[in-house]
Amino acid sequence: MNSLKLIHEKYHWKQVSSMVILCLLLGCGVEKYIPEGEVLYTGAELRTSVVAEEKVKDLKKVKTELNSLLQPEPNSSLLGMRLGLYYHYKTQKEKPGFLNKWLNKKFGEEPVYLSQVNPERIENLILNRLDNRGFFYSKAASQIDSSKSFAKVKYTAELPKPYTMETFQLQKDSLQIYGDIAATIDERAFKKGERFDLSLMKFERERIDNDLKTKGYYNFNPDFLIFEADTNRYNNRKFDLFLRLKSQVPERSVIPYQIDSITVYPNYTLGDTTEVATPKNVNGLAFVQNEEYFKPEQLEPYILFEKGQDYNARTAQLTSNRLSAIGSYKFVNIQFTELDTIANKDGAGSLHAELFLSPLTKRSVRAELQAVTKSNGLAGPGISVSYSNRNLFKGGETLSLSGNFQYGAQISGGENENLSSIGGGIKADLTIPRLVPFSPKRFKYAVPKTKISLGGDFLNRSKLYSLTSFNSSFGYTWNANKYVFHELNPISVNYVNLTNTTEEFEAILDKNPFLRRSFEQQFIAGLTYTFTYNELVDQDKTFPFFFSTNIDLAGNMLGLVSGDETIFGLEFAQYAKADVDLRYYYRWAKEQSLVARVYAGWGIPYGNSNTLPFVKQFFSGGPYSVRAFPIRSLGPGTFTATDDSTTSFFDQSGNLSLEANLEYRFPIFSYLKGALFADAGNVWLTTESELTEGETEEAIAFNEKLQTEGKFEKDWMSELGVGVGFGLRVDIQSFVIRLDLASPVRVPYWEKGERTRTPFFEGGSNNLVFNFAIGYPF
């Protein structure tokens, strides 16, 4: 047997070696395709030397910038193979064949020849960039290293001691603008000893211009500022830096402007004439609308600038953001018109502000037919209908009504065959674009919203139970800034009524006291709060960070009010629950990204509760969790339920959850993306379920097994379920259809020493788990 294995391994390596040799031959074979008189360009290298005794600051950054100038990019190669170039050359034949055409379309590259390289131009770019960074009188040279078919260019750059700043001064006269410029200059950017840096000066001009735009200077332009360096006082590569206005700057550009009048068109359509009915004045703002679409008194608080105020570009942008956030308008256009280009007695010009607000369609109805497939094997049709009124009371209020109905049948065989599920619900949301009862002007960045929700759902599982639930909430949502989002629901009420339980389901409850207790507490009332910090909104950020936490407190107020374990005859739940979601993204060229995620959640029952309500417990496994395990099939701890998946659906939950994920995402072509991932996680129990008198021996034994195997212990890491896999995603303008195929690496409910296995190969029929989902997992 060992000799056969040895022969097999030798044969295997022989095959691999043959393939590598063949690929190398194909890659090197591009030489015969190179046209006569051409030499293939294989890249460039740059060597720099600094003629300075002391250490030069940020030299590594300068070298990186110089290397970015070495253009063009040569053809890509891997282990000496230039397959992209090879595929291109193959399609130049008279009959290239379908395969070569396809390979060239996907991976082919146009050849880059030495004749396309201009070393003299690159030398000049290097010298220019060094001048911009303060290394004046540098030297650059190049040398071509060439063979018959290939050539590379070697560049050298000799950097002298850079010029450093000795003093900085703003040259000013009696104009008011010089005082405002002086107040906005960042002195940290012009410290003694700083190297001459043209890009920094350009950045400072832009920054000063932006600050002046917030102080009334409507017509100012960064090009009106000029930096001048003077080396006459020194002979040791030092300079004095001066900032001043250019000569002959127009007078209208150096005076601040004040807002003289404001006109708002709350119901504007492109092409409409603005000469309409008599304006309605509210706090100095003129509202013009033939038919009242939006009440002026309700719209006025969203506008942050007012008559007599200095022009401020930042305030105008915030006003535009606030008006857009109301949810009633498709376009918001703010325009300013000069009324007087000559300064008044206060030294300021005058502007007229006009706000053109184009409404969205007020009412909309949407219906969807759905085909629903769930991880527990239920599949069937569904329908959902929604209605929206975006300006219900003419104050930007949005009323949303929705309803849905679904039918599912068990498509898998076994003991669950012929099971079915019928479910549906209705929901009403009223969103008010202000923080009732506070004024919107208290919030500068974005308009907070008040949301009132009321809904009901029903679910009938054949052979098991019927479940009816009602929920309502009153709360607020708001963005503190570009990245920070808050949601606070001081009132959150849920009522769940379990009825029509079958003997089969009663047997499940009798067996599992922990589960029965979680269903008994039907009334949940408390407070919820969500904080989110999300840098993903910044598309240019290479290392965006995401953090979100949820806090859920229930029963405290009811306990104080009732002084008992019930209210209105209903037993209410008491618990505290929180979770944290951390994600770190690394994004680079061609839509590639690496995402790392850590999630933790913990719920603590107290008072008249010794378990969390079933709907508040944590579950592990499934398309948004550890994908190598079916939904809700992990934990708690090393516990595993019976083979009856209907039973395990209820058994496998916990009040503590830990998860970690790592995913590499990459493009394939067009809208099709790919992913490689690894997941780890589980749920555990940190509280013990109390048994009541009269429990059966089976229930006592089951509870003991659940509590023992599901308890969170010091060796919790050995109880993590771990899986790996790959996936395909169809991503069309942020609508994502996701297909993931995963396989377990570690199965926590197997015996110690036998939990690890080879993914995709070991584990029998359970070694592959297919996940279909909408949206990315995180």
Note if the bond before 636 is cis, omega within 30 degrees: yes
pLDDT tens-digit series, residues 483-519: 999 999 999 999 888 888 888 888 888 777 777 777 7
| Cis-peptide into 74, omega within 30 deg | no
Residue owning tokens 């408390």: 526
Look at residue 22 in the predicted model and tell me its pLDDT: 46
pLDDT band at 398 (very low <50, low <70, confident <90, very high): very high
* Spatial contact of 337 and 245, defined as CB atoms under 8 Å apart: no
The answer to whether residues 724 and 759 touch, using CB atoms and an 8 Å cutoff, is yes
Return d(Cα 669, Cα 106) in angstroms, integer: 8
Phi, psi (rounded to 5 degrees) for 95: -125, 85
> Which residue in this structure is represented by tokens 């105020």?
309
The model's confidence at residue 341, banded by pLDDT at 50, 70 and 90, is: low
d(CA 631, CA 649): 8
* Sequence-distant (≥ 6) Cβ neighbours of residue 492 within 8 angstroms: 471, 472, 473, 475, 524, 525, 526, 527, 528
238-245/164-170 β-pairing:
parallel
Say yes or no to pLDDT of 672 above 60. Answer: yes
Share the mean pLDDT of the chain: 86
Task: Give the pLDDT confidence score for residue 377 in this predicted structure.
Answer: 58
Using one digit for the tens of pLDDT, what is the confidence trace for 536-571?
988 888 999 999 999 999 988 877 776 677 777 778
Query: Which structure tokens are listed for 656?
Result: 């503590």
- At residue 20, does pLDDT exceed 70? no
Q: Tell me: the pLDDT tens digits for 598-625?
A: 999 999 998 888 888 888 999 999 999 9
Q: What are phi and psi of 430, to 5 degrees?
A: -115, 115
pLDDT of residue 569: 72
DSSP 123-141: HHHHHHHHHHTT-TT-EEE
- Phi and psi at residue 647, to the nearest 5°: -70, -45
Q: Is residue 54 very low, low, confident or very high in pLDDT (cuts 50, 70, 90)?
A: confident
419 and 463 Cβ atoms separated by less than 8 Å? yes
pLDDT in the model for residue 381? 87
Predicted pLDDT at 18: 44
Question: Phi and psi dihedrals of 389, rounded to 5?
Answer: -125, 110
Assigned CATH for 2-160: 3.10.20.310
User: 120-129, 258-267, 643-652, 684-693 — which is least confidently predicted?
Assistant: 643-652
Asked which of 125-129, 460-464, 680-684 is least confident by mean pLDDT, the reply is: 460-464
Which residues sit opposite 684 in a β-bridge?
A: 656
* pLDDT value of residue 359: 93
Q: Which residue intervals of the chain bear CATH 3.10.20.310?
A: 2-160, 257-359
Residues 280-337: tens digit of each pLDDT: 999 999 999 988 999 999 999 899 999 999 999 999 999 998 899 888 999 999 999 9
Within 8 A by CB and 6+ apart from 267, the residues are: 289, 290, 291, 293, 294, 357, 359
- Identify the architecture of domain 257-359 in CATH: Roll (3.10)
Percent of the chain with pLDDT over 90: 51
736: phi then psi, degrees, rounded to nearest 5: -120, 125
pLDDT in tens, 344-354: 556 788 999 99
Q: 3 phi and psi, to 5 degrees?
A: -65, -40
128's CB contacts (< 8 A; 6+ apart) are: none
At 452, the pLDDT band (50, 70, 90 cuts) reads very high
- Supply the pLDDT for residue 226: 95
pLDDT tens digits for range 153-181: 999 999 999 999 999 999 888 888 999 99
Say how far apart CA 335 and CA 358 lie, in whole Å. 14
pLDDT (0 to 100) of residue 509: 80
Over range 56-74, report the average pLDDT.
Answer: 91
Q: How confident is the model at residue 358 (pLDDT cuts 50, 70, 90)?
A: very high
Quote the pTM value: 0.75
pLDDT score, position 83: 82
* Cβ proximity of 111 and 88 under 8 Å: yes
Confidence of residue 670 (pLDDT cuts 50, 70, 90): confident
Please indicate whether residue 82 or residue 282 has the higher confidence score (pLDDT): 282
* Residues 6+ away with beta carbon under 8 Å from 129: 65, 66, 69
Q: Above pLDDT 70, what percent of the chain?
A: 88
Main-chain phi, psi angles of 615, to 5 degrees:
-70, -10
Quote the pLDDT of residue 144: 93
For 191-248, the pLDDT digits (tens) are: 898 999 999 999 999 999 999 999 999 999 999 999 999 999 988 899 999 999 998 8
Please give the structure tokens belonging to residue 53. 């005794």
Name the CA radius of gyration of the chain, rounded. 35
Nearest CA to 492 out of 509, 513, 471, 512 is that of 471
**Where is pLDDT greater, at 446 or 616?**
616
Q: What CA–CA distance (Å, rounded) separates 751 from 500? A: 39
Half-sphere exposure of 28 (CA within 13 A, CB side): 8
What is the CATH code for 164-253?
A: 3.10.20
The pLDDT score that the predictor gives to residue 26 is: 46
Taking residue 588's Cβ as centre, other Cβ atoms within 10 Å add up to 9
The whole-angstrom separation of Cα 547 and Cα 745 is 28
Q: Is 301 exposed, middle or buried (0-12, 13-18, 19+ CB in 10 A)?
A: middle
User: For 133, phi and psi rounded to 5 degrees?
Assistant: -95, 10
pLDDT digits (tens, 9 = 90+) for 686-740: 987 766 666 777 777 877 888 889 899 988 999 999 999 999 999 987 789 999 9
- pLDDT at residue 13, as a whole number: 40
Question: Could you tell me which residues come within 8 angstroms of residue 71 by beta carbon, excluding any fewer than 6 positions away?
Answer: 122
